[in-house]
Amino acid sequence: MFRREFLPPVGQLMAFESAARHGSVSRAAAELHLTQSAISRQIKQLEDRIGTALFHRVRQRVVLTEAGRVYATELRAGLESLATATQRAMTLGGVGDVLNLAVLPMFATRWLIPRMKRFAALHSGVTVNFASRTEPFDFAREPFDAAIHFGAAFWPGASCDYLLGESVVPVCSPEFKRRHRIQHKEDLAGLCLLQQSSRPMQWAEWFEQVKMAAPHAMRGPRYEQFSMLAQAAASGHGLALVPRFLVEEEIAAGRLVVLFREALITQRAYYLVVPETGGKNRLVQAFRDWLVGEASAAASPTLASGAEDLKRPRKARVVSG
């Protein structure tokens, strides 16, 4: 239980946070639509309440003291949490049901969102919100009902439903292929390898699978998301390893070409993750059943080219404490 005497007025907290972020009382005043004297007064009241100085005044600027720096960091997280909670309450207070999903950006853009019209046809009163998350998180601290996860079937305190495996293929632009006269795997030696930041060993694994020595397999520009990686390859910056089903659009349009049939088959996969506390929610269950069905229907040779030996169940539930 929080102690009310340690909760200053929100106006004082917002004045301090804004001034701390800008390093300026005048900019804080402009942001909050108050006068400079009002901002200064609220900060002084907060300092009196806390019993310590939060700023050093240096000419026209304010510089955080050590206590102010620590307080500003923790306060900002608290204000963000409060804003998120308020936004969630406002959303839930609307008409109809709401489903909040944490998704992988490229998977959502290229695979999930184009299929959502079918879910909407079955559940016309449901609003589905999407937010980007690329790493596992604590459902108790984040306002999500479910998440899309890539990796192993493990997420503490949640269940994982298998969706899709992936076949990772080497691609480049047609112009890059012509310029470097790529015909055989050996022609890749010395060329620029575009790297995916979260999968630093991917090229090394591919070269090992095709039995080629590649001492420089981990060198090359790094991109945080597959959308960036695919665009870099399509723009002729180098060679990329990408899940084929995420770049079918570029391949069909001729912006990317698949160089070789040898695909990197991994043991990782895409999963729908649902917290244990949300497993009995009827809307979450409806979405889970629909999405697993969509993934099962989509697991065709077109989407999983080269993955014939990836024998995985279409639904694998794992609950981890």
Residues 258 and 174 in one domain: yes
Strands 269-275 and 146-151, sheet pairing: antiparallel
State the average pLDDT for the chain. 87
**Residues 174/128, Cβ–Cβ less than 8 Å:** no
Six token digits for residue 43: 């900060």
Query: Average pLDDT of 239-267?
Result: 92
Residue 135 falls within a domain, yes or no?
A: yes
Residues 193 and 64 in one domain: no
Residues 254 and 281 in one domain: no
- Helix (H) / strand (E) element for 64: namely strand 61-64
- Helix (H) / strand (E) element for 128: namely strand 126-132
Six token digits for residue 199: 């999968």
Residue 22 falls within a domain, yes or no?
A: yes
Residues 50 and 115 in one domain: no
User: Residue 292 pLDDT > 80, yes or no?
Assistant: yes
Distance CA 197, CA 273 (A): 23
Six token digits for residue 250: 């570029």
Query: Which pLDDT value is given to residue 135?
Result: 87
How many structural domains does the chain have?
3
Query: Which pLDDT value is given to residue 187?
Result: 93
Query: Which pLDDT value is given to residue 279?
Result: 65
Residues 280 and 256 in one domain: no
Among 80, 102, 83, which residue's Cα sits nearest to residue 91? 83
Q: Choose one of 89, 119, 135: the last residue of a domain.
A: 89
Query: Average pLDDT of 288-302?
Result: 83
Q: Choose one of 37, 70, 89: the last residue of a domain.
A: 89
Residues 53 and 191 in one domain: no
Query: Which pLDDT value is given to residue 59?
Result: 73
**Residues 256/317, Cβ–Cβ less than 8 Å:** no
Query: Which pLDDT value is given to residue 84?
Result: 74
Query: Model-level pTM greater than 0.75?
Result: no
Query: Average pLDDT of 11-29?
Result: 94
**Residues 31/38, Cβ–Cβ less than 8 Å:** no
In eight-state DSSP terms, residue 111 is: I
Residues 145 and 287 in one domain: yes
Residues 252 and 116 in one domain: no
Distance CA 224, CA 197 (A): 5
Residue 270 falls within a domain, yes or no?
A: no
Query: Which pLDDT value is given to residue 194?
Result: 97
Query: Average pLDDT of 261-284?
Result: 87
Q: What is the CATH number of the domain that holds 41?
A: 1.10.10.10
Residues 119 and 77 in one domain: no
Residues 172 and 229 in one domain: yes
Residues 132 and 216 in one domain: no
User: Residue 41 pLDDT > 50, yes or no?
Assistant: yes
Residue 301 falls within a domain, yes or no?
A: yes
**Angle in degrees, 0-180, between the axes of helices 36-50 and 25-32, rounded to the nearest 10:** 110
Residues 82 and 100 in one domain: no
**Residues 314/299, Cβ–Cβ less than 8 Å:** yes
User: Residue 93 pLDDT > 60, yes or no?
Assistant: no
Which string of DSSP letters, residue by residue, matches 185-203? GGGGTTSPBPEETT-TTHH
pLDDT top residue among 320 and 45: 45
User: Residue 182 pLDDT > 80, yes or no?
Assistant: yes
Weakest-pLDDT range from 115-129, 289-303, 304-318: 304-318
pLDDT, one tens digit per residue, over 236-251 is 999 999 999 899 999 9
Range of the domain at 300: 95-162+276-320
Query: Which pLDDT value is given to residue 308?
Result: 35
Q: What is the CATH number of the domain that holds 185?
A: 3.40.190.10
**Residues 99/55, Cβ–Cβ less than 8 Å:** no
Residue 192 falls within a domain, yes or no?
A: yes
pLDDT, one tens digit per residue, over 26-37 is 999 999 999 999
Q: Which residues contact 31 (CB under 8 A, 6 or more apart)?
A: 18, 22
Residue 123 falls within a domain, yes or no?
A: yes
Give the confidence band of 217 by pLDDT, cuts at 50, 70, 90: very high
Q: Choose one of 89, 124, 154: the last residue of a domain.
A: 89
